[in-house]
Amino acid sequence: MRLSRLLNNDVAPLKRSRGRLVLVAATVSLPLLVAVFLASAPVSAQAAPPVSSVSDKIICQCGCNAVLSQCPHEECGWGVPAKQFIAQELDKGRTPAQLMQYYVSQYGEKILAAPTKRGFNLAAWLTPFVALIVGGVAVYFLVTTWTSKRHLAREPEPGSIEESPDEMRPELIRQMEDELREFD
Partner 1 sequence: MSAVGYTALLMAVVISAYGIIASLVGARTGRRNLIKSGENAVYALCGVVVLAALVLMLALVSRDFTLEYVAGYTSRGLSWFYTITAFWAGNGGSMLLWLTILSVFAAIVVYQNRRKNRELLPYVISILMAIALFFSLLMTLLRTADPFVTIPTDAVPADGAGLNPMLENPGMVVHPVTTYLGYVGFSIPFAFAMGALITRRLGDAWIRSTRRWTLLAWFFLTIGNLVGAWWAYVTLGWGGFWGWDPVENSSFLPWLVGTAFLHSVMIQEKKDMLKVWNVVLIILTFVLTIFGTFLTRSGIISSVHAFGEGSFGPFFVAFMGITLIFSLGLLFTRLDMLKSRNELDGFVSRETSFLLNNLILVAMAFAILWGVLFPIISEAVTGNKVTVGPPFFNQVIRPIGLVFMLITGICPLIAWRRATFSNLRKNFVYPAAGAAVALTLLLVFGVRGYWALISFTLSAFVLTTILLEFARGTWVRRQMSRENIFKALGSLLWRNKRRYGGYIVHAGVILAIVGITGSFAFKQEARQTLTQGQELTVGRYQLTFDSVNSYETSEKQVSQASFTVSDKGRFVGTVSPVKEYYPRKDQNWTRIDRNSNLSRDVYVALLDYSPDTGQADVQVDINPLVSWLWIGGFVMALGAVIAMWPDRRESRRVAARYERHAELNEA
Position 22 contacts partner 1 (CB under 8 A): yes
Contact predicate 173/3, CB 8 Å = no
Residues 109-138 that bind partner 1 (CB under 8 A): 109-110, 112-115, 119-121, 123-125, 127-129, 131-132, 135-136
User: Would you count residue 85 as binding partner 1 (CB under 8 A)?
Assistant: no
Tell me how far, at minimum, the Cβ of 91 lies from partner 1, in Å. 10
35 binding partner 1? (CB under 8 A): yes
Please state at what angle helix 79-92 crosses helix 96-107, rounded to 10 degrees. 140
Is residue 97 close enough to count as binding partner 1 by CB under 8 A? Answer: no
CA distance 50 to 96: 9
Query: Which of 77, 81, 84, 173 touches partner 1 (CB under 8 A)?
Result: 84
Task: Categorise residue 112: left if φ over 0, alpha if ψ from -120 to 50, beta otherwise.
Answer: beta
Residues 155-174 that bind partner 1 (CB under 8 A): none
Residue 85: how many CB atoms within 10 A of its CB?
A: 15
